[in-house]
Amino acid sequence: MLLFPGNIRQSLRIRGLRQRWLVSAVVPVVLLVMLAVAVYTIAFAQYYYSGMIADLEARARIAADTFTSYGVKSYSEYYRLASYSVETFEEKDHLELQFINTNGRVQASSYGLTAGTSPGTIDIERAIAGNMDYYQGRDPQTGENILSVSSPLYFNARVVGVLRYVTSLRAVEHQIFLNFLVAAGLALLMVLLIVLSNAIFINNVVEPVAVVSDAARRISGGSYGIRIDNHYQDELGELVDNINDMSLKISQAEQIQQEFISSVSHELRTPLTAINGWAETLEVDPVGNPEQTRRGLGIIGKESRRLTTMVEELLDFTKIQDGRFTLRIDTVDLISELEDMIYAYRELFRQEGIEVRYDPGDEDFPPIAADGERMKQVFSNVLDNASKHGGAGKRIDVSVSRDGDAEVVRVRDYGPGIPPDELPFVKQKFYKGSSKARGSGIGLAVCDEIVRLHGGTFDIANADDGNSGAVVTIAIPLGAQAESEHE
């Protein structure tokens, strides 16, 4: 089943990712670009203003030196020279030349209109005190932003006046503003490109995540087995593959669980039906045919034991699932436990036409630390499975041998064997494969856990000697410490 809803873009909006992207990626970039524009504009303005100040100071210094070099003898001669200088000043269209007396009043100006006024800026005060200085700010009289440079004029080592250049900053501010607009436009274009590229990227992430999120939501809602079309070659592709694999495994587990419930229901119903049937028969005619009575009681006992075994398996499996499955460790003769189970099953198998051949080997095995009852449970389950699945071969071989530091028990039947594609799953819980034999499908999983807790291995394979049949190999380390805990 393919998953790709047509309206996925409208129905799903991963707002959290977009908001996180906006905060963590776009906002810092915008702030950084704004800072860069501000720094550039301030630096450009400072560079422009510094250049203007340096140029005016150079002009004022040269003009003041030239004016002083004339050797003015009287105030009238000073005033005449100042008037001549402002009248012949050639840059009056963008620059104003002023001569100011020691009282701070304009005596002569290339603009003419400012003569007689007192500008009152700090550069004039410092020039009267004998120091060249500049003023950048608002003109106290006109309110216009200006830049002025004032230089003292000397006669006999005494300041007799001030030469002052004044220029409006309107054109400069306009140029700075234009530069700011250009920088801001380029910055805005850069931000738009970054946002666009990031938006494409985040959408390429959000939309697949939305699809995966929708799939996960549907899986959690019970739509097991759905699959997502994988069009990605990166980490998103791995995520989609993992979701698909998870969906498939959940579907398989759900199917196995349903089959298990159906199987257990059937397995419980069969012995209960036999027990109830014979109980009703014996209740109606308690003193009937002794042979029939004996047979009925035998069936009731057999089916009761079968029910008990199934319930014990279910209880053991429950303990395995929640981690409460433990062992009661004691010193145990493992061979003796195995032989007890062979003896218990041999007559039962003989009645079914199955021969049990036992080879104890030549080794003498010392007692080991193990849970004897649990190991009996393993041997019982393995022998019972051999009769159920391999009984058609009419023979079961049991052998004991030593393999390194392990005591190895092998149980082999001569039935049809296990299909190769089912071998990897036979020890999984609830798994029964293609077998029609009775059972809950959890006995081998319980056996595998018991052997694992003893530090051993529990393997199932098909015979490799050219004959059919399956071989179960149980290896328990000699002297190994089992995982134990008193229940």
Q: What is the CATH number of the domain that holds 79?
A: 3.30.450.20
pLDDT of residue 113: 67
pLDDT of residue 159: 86
Its domain, for residue 335, covers 326-477
What's the token pair of residue 224? 């097991």
Handedness of CA 383, 259, 302, 270 (dihedral sign): negative
Q: Which of 170, 204, 222 is the last residue of a domain?
A: 170
Task: Give the residue-averaged pLDDT of 393-419.
Answer: 90
Arithmetic mean of pLDDT over the chain: 80
**Exposure class string for 318-347: b at 16+ Cβ within 10 A, else e:** eebeeeebbbebeebebbebbbebbeebbe
450: domain CATH number?
3.30.565.10
Q: Is residue 371 part of a domain?
A: yes
Whether 379 and 337 have beta carbons less than 8 Å apart is answered as yes
Please check whether residues 368 and 471 belong to one and the same domain: yes
Lowest-confidence range among 27-31, 127-131, 322-326?
322-326
Please check whether residues 264 and 379 belong to one and the same domain: no
pTM assigned to the model: 0.47
> In angstroms, rounded to a whole number, what is the distance separating the alpha carbons of residues 88 and 284?
146
Q: Which of 320, 352, 376 is the last residue of a domain?
A: 320
Number of separate domains in the chain: 3
Please check whether residues 364 and 249 belong to one and the same domain: no
The secondary structure of residue 415, as a DSSP letter, is: S
pLDDT-derived band at 444, boundaries 50, 70, 90 = confident
**Alpha helix (H) residue ranges in 323-370:** 334-351
Helix (H), strand (E) at residue 271: helix 235-284
Please check whether residues 343 and 463 belong to one and the same domain: yes
Please check whether residues 278 and 137 belong to one and the same domain: no
